[in-house]
Amino acid sequence: MKTLLILGASGDLTGRLLLPGVGRLIASGRAPGITLVGAGSDNWTAEQWQERLAGSFADALAPGGDSTPEGIKALEAVQSNSSYHQLDVTAKGELGAFLATVEGPVALYFALPPAISQKACEVLKKKELPAGTRLVMEKPFGSSAASAHALNATLGKLVAEDHIHRVDHFLGKSTVLNIMGLRFANRLLEPLWNGEHIEKVEIVFDEDLTLENRARYYDHAGAGKDMIQSHLLQIMAIMAMEPPATLGQEDVRSSIAAVLRCSTIGNSYKPDLADTTRRARYTAGTIGERQVPNYVDEEGVDPANDTETLAEVEVYVNNWRWAGVPFILRSGKALGRARKEAVVTYKPVPHLPAGFTGVDSPTRLHIGFGPETLTLDLDVNGPGDLFTLDRVQLETALASDPLLPYGEVLEGVLSGDPLLSVRGDTAEDCWRIVEPAFAAWKAGSVPMEEYAAGSNGPSGWATSND
C-alpha cells in the first residue's frame, strides 16, 4: 500500500486506537513508504490535524520500546506530510473524486458507524477506486445477518474478497498464533482437544472499566453486540477449529468458517435460551477508589434501551469433535476483577484410586490475552502428606508483539495479507449465531439480573465464582 486514507479521521476511534497503532507500526520500521491522509465531516484545520497526530504518535516517537531511530524519522516525516480534508463520504461522487487525488494503491479505512460506511460504499463506484485498493471495515460489521449480507454484496461489487479487511483488533497475531502454536505443535494437547476429554471451554473478557464516555454507542450495543457477537466468537472458532494445512490466510480462515457454520447458541439437547444465555446490568458500587453509579443513571443512558452490561451465552459446535461441549462466552463491564482469558476445563479422571485424600480438582488450562500467558492447573501429591492431593499451577509467558492490536491488524492490511481479517461469510455467521439470543432478550424471556459494580457479577453464575 502507498496511501492509508482514514475516513472518520476526526472521530474518537481514530484518535484513541487507530492512530496510536499506526504510529507504533511505522516507528518500528514495519510500514515503509506509507503516506497518511485523514478525511472527516468536521471542518478541521491543518493545525488541528497535526495536534491530533502529535498526541496519538507521542509514545511511538519516544525513544525505546520497539521504535527504531530510522522508524522514528519515518514517522516524523509521515506526520509532517500528512493532511486532513473535509469530506461528505455519503455524497455521490465526492469520495470518488478525492480518491483520484491520492497516490495508489490505497488502503481505505472506514473508521465510521456501520450505517455511514454502508452508505459511503453504496455511492462509491468501482471505476473510482485506484488499482489495488483495499477496503478496511470496522466492527460491528452490519447490525444483523441480513444487513451484513447486504454490506458484503455492496463491497463485493467494488473489490475482491481478499481485498476486504473486516477489522477485529482481538485477532492480533499474538492471540491467533499463540493458540494455534499451543494446539498444533504439542502432541500432548491436541489428542485430548475434543469432547471426549474436555468438559467445557470458557472465553471471558471481564473489564473493570465502565462506560468511559461511550454511552452513545454502548447503550445501543450492550455487552452482547459489543464483544460476544464479534470478538469472542472469533476466538472460540480458533480454539475449536480443525488443524489447517498451512498458516496461509485461505487455510486458516476456511477452518474458522467451518466452526462457525455449525455453531449455535444451545442445541437440540439444550434448546431453552433462558437456560443457555444470561444477561445482567451493574448497579451502584465501588471499583478501587471510584464510586460508580447505577448504569441507568450514567450520562447518556436511556433506561428504555434495556441494555445489558454483562452477557453470557453457551455456544455449541455441532460436529464430531465438540458435540455436547459448551463454549461459554462471557463479557462485561464494571467488574471487580479484570479477566481476559480462555479456560479449558478437562473432565474428571474415570477413577481415582481409593486412599487419596484432599480435593480432586479438574485439570484446567488457562490462555491469557493481554498479557499473553499460559497456566496449567494440576493436582499433585503433597506437600506434607503424600496421600493428600494439592493444587499447583505451572505458569509461563507466551510470545507477544510489541505492536498495539491495531498495529498488528494494520500490518496485514498494508502488506496485503488478510489472515487477521474476518472473512465475509464468517461475519454473517456470527450474527446468525447470536440473533436468537438477542431476540429472546428483547422479548423479555431471559430476565435482566443485577450485580454491584466492583463485584464479580451475579453470584448465581458459575463464571462469577471461578
Residue 436: in which H helix or E strand, if any? Answer: helix 424-443
pLDDT band at 466 (very low <50, low <70, confident <90, very high): confident
Q: Are 78 and 35 in contact (CB under 8 A)?
A: yes
Determine whether 228 is exposed, middle or buried from the number of CB atoms within 10 Å of its CB (0-12, 13-18, 19+). Answer: buried
Paired sense of beta strands 310-317 and 263-265, if any: antiparallel
Q: In angstroms, rounded to a whole number, what is the distance separating the alpha carbons of residues 226 and 302?
A: 17
Q: Say what the pLDDT of residue 370 is.
A: 77
Q: What does the block give as the cell for 118?
A: 454502508
Task: Give the residue-averaged pLDDT of 52-68.
Answer: 89
The length of the chain is: 466
**DSSP characters over 336-366:** SS-EEEEEEEEPPPS-PPBTBEE--PPPEEE
Q: Say what the pLDDT of residue 243 is.
A: 96
pLDDT band at 54 (very low <50, low <70, confident <90, very high): very high
Alpha helices in 209-335 (DSSP H): 215-223, 233-240, 249-261, 273-276
What number of other Cβ atoms are within 10 A of residue 427's Cβ? 27
Q: What is the dihedral angle through the alpha carbons of 361, 367, 368, 369, rounded to the nearest 10 degrees?
A: -150
Q: Are 380 and 389 in contact (CB under 8 A)?
A: yes
Q: Say what the pLDDT of residue 34 is.
A: 94
pLDDT at 114 over 90: no
Q: Say what the pLDDT of residue 137 is.
A: 93
Which range is least confidently modeled, 175-179, 308-312, 453-457?
Answer: 175-179
* Percent residues over pLDDT 70 in the chain: 100
Report which of residues 405 and 350 the model is more confident about: 350
- Active-site entry in 163, 231, 351, 366: 231
pLDDT at 170 over 90: no
* Percent residues over pLDDT 90 in the chain: 73
pLDDT band at 27 (very low <50, low <70, confident <90, very high): very high
Q: How far is CA 25 from the centre of its chain?
A: 19
Task: Give the residue-averaged pLDDT of 5-15.
Answer: 92
pLDDT at 452 over 90: yes
Q: Say what the pLDDT of residue 262 is.
A: 96
pLDDT band at 216 (very low <50, low <70, confident <90, very high): confident
Task: Give the residue-averaged pLDDT of 159-183.
Answer: 88
pLDDT band at 402 (very low <50, low <70, confident <90, very high): confident
Task: Give the residue-averaged pLDDT of 14-42.
Answer: 92
Q: Say what the pLDDT of residue 396 is.
A: 94
How many Cα atoms occupy the beta-carbon half-sphere of 205 within 13 Å? 19
pLDDT band at 351 (very low <50, low <70, confident <90, very high): confident
State the greatest distance between any 2 C-alpha atoms of the chain, in Å, as a whole number: 80
For the ranges 70-74, 311-315, 390-394, the one whose mean pLDDT is highest: 311-315
Among residues 61, 60, 8, the alpha carbon closest in space to that of 38 is found at 8
Q: Say what the pLDDT of residue 241 is.
A: 97
In whole angstroms, how far apart are CA 61 and each of 71, 309, 322?
A: 9, 36, 47
Q: Say what the pLDDT of residue 295 is.
A: 96
Q: Are 287 and 199 in contact (CB under 8 A)?
A: no
Q: In angstroms, rounded to a whole number, what is the distance separating the alpha carbons of residues 228 and 205?
A: 9
pLDDT band at 344 (very low <50, low <70, confident <90, very high): very high
Q: Are 283 and 451 in contact (CB under 8 A)?
A: yes
Q: Say what the pLDDT of residue 100 is.
A: 94
The span from the first CA to the last CA of the chain, in angstroms, equals 46
Q: Say what the pLDDT of residue 177 is.
A: 86
Single-letter residue type at 52? R
Q: In angstroms, rounded to a whole number, what is the distance separating the alpha carbons of residues 211 and 226?
A: 12
pLDDT at 171 over 80: no
Strand partners, 201: 327, 344
Q: Are 179 and 239 in contact (CB under 8 A)?
A: yes
Query: What are the tens digits of pLDDT across the range 236-253?
Result: 999 999 999 999 999 999
Q: Say what the pLDDT of residue 342 is.
A: 96
Among residues 224, 193, 385, the alpha carbon closest in space to that of 307 is found at 224
pLDDT at 158 over 80: yes
Q: In angstroms, rounded to a whole number, what is the distance separating the alpha carbons of residues 235 and 228?
A: 10
Check if 231 is active-site. yes
* Summary mean pLDDT of the chain: 92
Q: Say what the pLDDT of residue 267 is.
A: 84
Q: What does the block give as the cell for 410?
A: 494494520
Which range is least confidently modeled, 158-167, 211-220, 276-285, 419-428?
Answer: 211-220
